Amino acid sequence: MTAEVAESLFWIVLAAAIAPLLAAAVPGRLIPEVVLLLAAGIIIGPFGIDIAAISPEIDMLQELGLGLLFLLAGYELDQRELVGSGGRRALLTWLCCLALAFAVTYSIAQVIEIRAEVATAIALTSTALGTLLPILTERGLVETRMGRTILNHGAMGELCPVIAMAVLLGVHGAAGSVLVLGLFAVAAVGVALVPRRFGGSQSRLSAVIAKGADTTSQTQVRLTVLLLVGLIALAAAFDLDIIIAAFAAGFILRRTLPTGHEGLETKLSGLAFGLLVPVFFVTSGMNIDVDGVVKRPEVLVLAIVMLLLVRGLPVFIATRFEKSDDGRRAFDRRERAQIGLYSATGLPLIVAVTTVAVDAGPMTPTNASILVAAGAITVLILPLTATLLGRGEVEKIIVEEAQNEDRD
């Protein structure tokens, strides 16, 4: 490691260490940590005071951080919920979002130069589920009907854009990309069958893995990393994006551990959020061209409006048709607005899609910076707005549940 790389890595890690302390210092934790990580990257990067640069070594850490972020996202998705009525409704809503995104993006492209219309449209349909999970947990919404609905839309807002990106932005063209994606899926299924074939609960291999789980061998963590890196290598052979491999690894891991594994989850979270995921967000912030964003404030505002229009509005409309067990509407207008605001919150996939589009050539770094900045603003503002709209809602749910228990 050269002195320049070591110096850059020091500033990146310092930014990652300071961000949660600053987030905790804000009353009510109103500023999400991911926003501070991006801001820190802007400050230390080439568009800020220029004390850190992205080298090939740091770029590899960034890729691993992206991979672990989406592995955990794939692992957290409730696969049974995805194939249920709530998941099907969320999928249909996302398809409407995509159609609206293409219509809006191509219309605006007639007035403002976009060039990467497809990538922009896909980015507009995403939802930052990984960012929302801790927020929903802190506010006691995860186990509520509203929380489950938000998670359904969030799951489709992460999974579907990844598939759309692989098909529509793939190097093989749409038809070729579908074929390649299918071949990769078959290979991933083959990988998923390995634990069942050789790792039954009574097998000697399972006993060895379990015995080494809490020793210096850390067998479960190493095998999970092997799964991730192996699928990344497989995806690279098929010219697919790393996000596809990471999601597949998360799905396979969940299929292997259907009831979860608290010890492994804790270790993976420590590995991911202790270093690699913060590195991903800090280095992503380093790529944001602040001057380009500041010089085009109207485009930044337009991008935020497009996120609300393309993602938030269809979700708001779709939740009007959800029914509760007694046949009444499940949500009132305020609750639907909350769900729409949470669903329009996007950042990690916006970063990923714009990175792919810039590397491929059609999207300019300035337009990518504007989209990422818009995503960061949605993370900062929309969950907070949804919380203010729902002030007292959590307490109401708790009281209702207590009353039901008293009746029982």
Residue 406 falls inside a structural domain: no
Residue 175 falls inside a structural domain: yes
Tokens representing 240 are: 């697919």
pLDDT reading at 310 higher than 90: yes
Do the Cβ atoms of 277 and 32 come closer than 8 Å? Answer: no
82: alpha, beta or left, given left = phi > 0 and alpha = psi -120 to 50? alpha
Residue 408 falls inside a structural domain: no
Q: Which of 149-158, 176-185, 190-199 has the highest mean pLDDT?
A: 149-158
Rounded-to-10 torsion of CA 279, 284, 286, 289: -170
CA nearest to 156, candidates 178, 127, 181, 182: 127
Least trusted range by pLDDT, from 60-74, 183-197, 251-265: 183-197
Q: With H, G, I as helix, E, B as strand and everything else as coil, classify residue 54.
A: coil
Total structural domains in the chain? Answer: 1
203: alpha, beta or left, given left = phi > 0 and alpha = psi -120 to 50? beta
Least trusted range by pLDDT, from 186-195, 249-258, 362-371: 186-195
Contacts of 258 (CB under 8 A, 6+ apart): none
Q: With H, G, I as helix, E, B as strand and everything else as coil, classify residue 246.
A: helix
52: alpha, beta or left, given left = phi > 0 and alpha = psi -120 to 50? beta
Contacts of 39 (CB under 8 A, 6+ apart): 285, 376
Residue 301 falls inside a structural domain: yes
Instruction: Compute CA distances 316 → 80, 95, 194, 338, 374, whole Å.
Output: 24, 14, 42, 8, 20
Tokens representing 259 are: 């009831």
Tokens representing 180 are: 């390649």
Rounded-to-10 torsion of CA 11, 14, 15, 18: -160
The residue that leads in pLDDT, 213 or 321, is 321
Residue 98 falls inside a structural domain: yes
Average confidence (pLDDT) over 213-230: 88
The residue that leads in pLDDT, 314 or 179, is 314
R_g of the chain, CA atoms, integer Å: 21
For the chain, give percent helix, strand, coil, nearest 5.
Answer: 75, 0, 20
Query: What span, in angstroms and rounded, lies between the C-alpha atoms of 406 and 402?
Result: 6
Tell me the average pLDDT of the chain: 83
On the CB side of 129, how many CA atoms lie within 13 Å of its CA?
28
Q: Per DSSP, what are the bridge partners of residue 323? A: 329
Residue 128 falls inside a structural domain: yes
* CA 216 from centre of chain: 31
Q: Which of 71-85, 95-109, 205-219, 366-380 has the highest mean pLDDT?
A: 95-109
Confidence class of residue 66 from pLDDT cuts 50, 70 and 90? confident
Query: What span, in angstroms and rounded, lies between the C-alpha atoms of 136 and 394?
Result: 11
Residue 120: give the domain boundaries: 3-400
Residue 212 falls inside a structural domain: yes
The DSSP output letter for 27 is G
Q: What tens digit of pLDDT does each residue of 36-56 get? A: 888 899 999 998 999 999 999
Confidence class of residue 393 from pLDDT cuts 50, 70 and 90? low
Confidence class of residue 202 from pLDDT cuts 50, 70 and 90? low
Cα first-last separation, the chain: 65
Instruction: Compute CA distances 55 → 2, 43, 59, 124, 209, whole Å.
Output: 10, 17, 6, 29, 36
Q: For a pLDDT cut of 70, what percent of the chain falls above it?
A: 90
Any idea which residue has 């302390």 for tokens?
21
Q: What tens digit of pLDDT does each residue of 11-38 get? A: 999 999 999 899 888 876 677 788 888 8
Q: What is the CATH number of the domain that holds 122?
A: 1.20.1530.20
pLDDT reading at 394 higher than 60: no
On the CB side of 204, how many CA atoms lie within 13 Å of its CA?
0
pTM score, whole prediction: 0.79
Residue 245 falls inside a structural domain: yes
On the CB side of 374, how many CA atoms lie within 13 Å of its CA?
29
pLDDT of residue 398: 46
pLDDT of residue 171: 63
E strand segments, 180-288: none
Contacts of 324 (CB under 8 A, 6+ apart): 145, 330
φ/ψ of 267, rounded to 5, equals -65, -40
Query: What span, in angstroms and rounded, lies between the C-alpha atoms of 311 and 68?
Result: 25
Query: What span, in angstroms and rounded, lies between the C-alpha atoms of 166 and 79?
Result: 21
pLDDT reading at 100 higher than 90: yes
pLDDT of residue 214: 81
Query: What span, in angstroms and rounded, lies between the C-alpha atoms of 355 and 247?
Result: 18
